Structure 1
Amino acid sequence: MKGTPLRLAPLLAAATLALSLAACGSSSDDTNESSGASGENFPVTIEHALGTTEIKSEPKRVATVAWSNQDTALALGVVPVGMPKVTYGDDDTDGLHPWVKDKLDELGGEAPVLFDETDGIDATAVAKTTPDLILAPNSGLTKEEYETLSKIAPVVAYPGQAWGTSWRDAIKLTGQALGKSDEATQLISDLEQQITDATEKEPDIKGKTAVMSWIDPSDLSKVGYYTASDTRATFLNDLGFETPDFVTKASEGSDQFFLEISSEKADELNGADVFVGYGDEAALKKVQADPLLGQVTAFKNGSAALLEDNTPMAAAVSPSALSIPWMIDDYVALLADAAAKVK
């Protein structure tokens, strides 16, 4: 996945292969017991896409699998006994994203067990942490993986489309599972206020259209983009952007989070005022020089927000309860710079 600027391939690969690109966690019973959950909130029954899960009593040992679920638990004051090791955007190779490390330092407790999910969910490693709850509301768990994990502990899977759980729904489901629904509601409100505060400073964004795009400079015969169900794309709506018509139409009735369009139909891409993707100026110049893609209005204007590949910021734009406050000001500023170039 390296050497492919102007693309969101690493996060695409993560979802496609069920890799987890976020990491860390563990907690002693004392950490969870002091987190404020009340046994009076249980039992809890949660319906999701893979079945119905009953949580009979307050969880004491919480494990998370897949993308960013540890972030949500940590944001609600619970340090999991196990969580995935970061394989993308880990700038200091310790297996943790910086926003996760900060929260772990704040909460304290035992050092987390980090699961290696390079080849998929490691059920054996999860079982060794002896969890009484497994959180995966933001994931692409298969039915087989769900059934395997359910033999270890109750599992909370995604509510609708695989890899399509919004950060709000992830917080709501996690709060319900942990007996912290009130705290979850407050957390959502706090994050929404942070988003409002950041976007109010950048009026150039409002009313513009934006697409999360994956363009490989080594193959400009096609353009990839994320559908309206993808969390990175929907987060652009949170920030004030509108979804281009071509994305909306292509997303209708689709269960995919990623689609492609031939560069021969590049004129359809003119519906996006701003393109967001991994890369650098050299990659953008190559796209601009292409006889087909170079005619796309956004590329002519240079209204592209480029995220440096394999950095914490590149990972953070897939929003979570912890990554949003960590990246919001810088991300909005980057997007606003691109929006200001729209003509």
Structure 2
Amino acid sequence: MAACSAAVLLALAGCGSGDDTAASPKAPAAAGTFPVTLKNAFGTTVIDKKPERVATIVWSNHDAALALGVVPVGIPKQTYGDQDGDGVLSWTQKKLTELKAPTPTLFDESDGLDFEAIADTRPDVILAAYSGMSKADYTTLSEIAPTVAYPGTPFGTGWRDTIRLDAKALGLADKGDALVTGLEKTIHGAADAHPALKGRTAMVGYFDPKDFSKVGYYTSHDVRNQFSVDLGMKMPASLTELSAKTKEFYATLSAEKADVFDDVDIIVTYGDDKLLGRLQKDPLLGKIPAIARGAVVVIPQNSELAAALSPPTALTIPATTDEYAGLLADAARHLK
């Protein structure tokens, strides 16, 4: 996807942020009843009848539709984390196979939204509950079909609300609620299997291997850190306080102020197998307690797991949560 800067590397997969409890979407229509009216950051979307041709853009929305049993006519081409170069990540392909469906048209978003390709699929609705579109994008998309945009801030829709918004647009509100409940059970099961995580503080960050002068961190608004809370962990006070000063999902801090993160038990970041050793040798970053202890989860860049967590989706949660919780538990072994 094109809307993220190179400095925020993992946002290429999702630019994720969001607090599911803060902006739960509510539609006046009952499940399966049309028209459906959904408010969004740009106004109101009205869907007059049950969509038959569904297009999705950006990230997460296609997984939500597929998890609900709806095969879109067009979805975004995935490049981050795509190991075989076919533009479809493994959990999405698995669901398509399960539904005995061919690969939908793939929209290339490397240079922005491909409005012509989206229009060519002749959609009845465009799902974009998780996205970061501009008002101009929304206007153009709405000329193609009713567009379900994010309800609050760009890339600020959590996985629960993404599912619920997209489900309501499809007339499947009850099924969406049931899907959320099932995914919550999956997450709670992973947390129960790793009791060492309970109550520990965690932060997802990013350290540029070419520039250790800054600490990159995803804010408390971001779904990556919200997902740690889902797993029974806590948001560090340092992260909460820094996040209160911004509405962005990602920010940076001078390495000279890295001691602000002394209250972080476990750090999750992205890089190669040499990153932790380099961080521990750094005169500033190496003093962060979590780094000094080795309580760090380094997820390989451009891996499927990195994509799965950026942010979690209706299909990545069952596919990767156990693995991720296990990695967090391994890091927790370094704590006293």
Residue 11 of structure 2 is matched in structure 1 by 12
- The counterpart of 2:255, out of the listed 258, 263, 266, is 263
Q: Which amino acid aligns with 2:95?
A: K
Q: How does 1:216-235 map to 2 (within 5 A)?
A: 216-235=208-227
Q: CA RMSD in A?
A: 1.7
The answer as to 2:329 corresponding to 1:336 is yes
Three-state SS of the structure 1 residue aligned to 2:144 is coil
Q: 1:218 to 1:253 in 2, by over 3 A?
A: closer
Give 1:216 deviation, angstroms. Answer: 1.2
Q: Is the 8 A contact 2:13 2:307 kept in 1?
A: no
Runs of 4+ in 1 over 6 A off after TM superposition: none
The answer as to 2:210 corresponding to 1:200 is no
Residue 54 of structure 2 is matched in structure 1 by 62
Residue 85 of structure 2 is matched in structure 1 by 93
Q: Is the 8 A contact 1:266 1:296 kept in 2?
A: yes
Runs of at least 5 residues in structure 1 that lack an aligned partner in the other structure: 1-6, 19-37
Distance 2:107 2:304 in 1: 19
Q: Is the 8 A contact 1:80 1:112 kept in 2?
A: yes
Three-state SS of the structure 2 residue aligned to 1:200 is helix
Distance 1:150 1:234 in 2: 31
Three-state SS of the structure 2 residue aligned to 1:212 is strand
- The counterpart of 1:246, out of the listed 232, 238, 242, is 238
Residue 188 of structure 1 is matched in structure 2 by 180
Three-state SS of the structure 1 residue aligned to 2:193 is coil
The answer as to 2:166 corresponding to 1:150 is no
Distance 1:294 1:110 in 2: 49
Q: Which amino acid aligns with 2:10?
A: L
Q: Give the TM-score, by structure 1 length.
A: 0.89
Residue correspondences, number: 317
Q: Give the TM-score, by structure 2 length.
A: 0.91
Three-state SS of the structure 2 residue aligned to 1:52 is strand
Distance 2:239 2:91 in 1: 31
- The counterpart of 2:63, out of the listed 65, 71, 76, is 71
Q: 1:83 to 1:40 in 2, by over 3 A?
A: closer
Q: Is the 8 A contact 1:39 1:57 kept in 2?
A: no
Distance 1:213 1:39 in 2: 39
Q: Which amino acid aligns with 2:315?
A: L
Q: 1:40 to 1:223 in 2, by over 3 A?
A: closer
Residue 319 of structure 2 is matched in structure 1 by 326
Distance 2:287 2:32 in 1: 61
Distance 1:156 1:236 in 2: 27
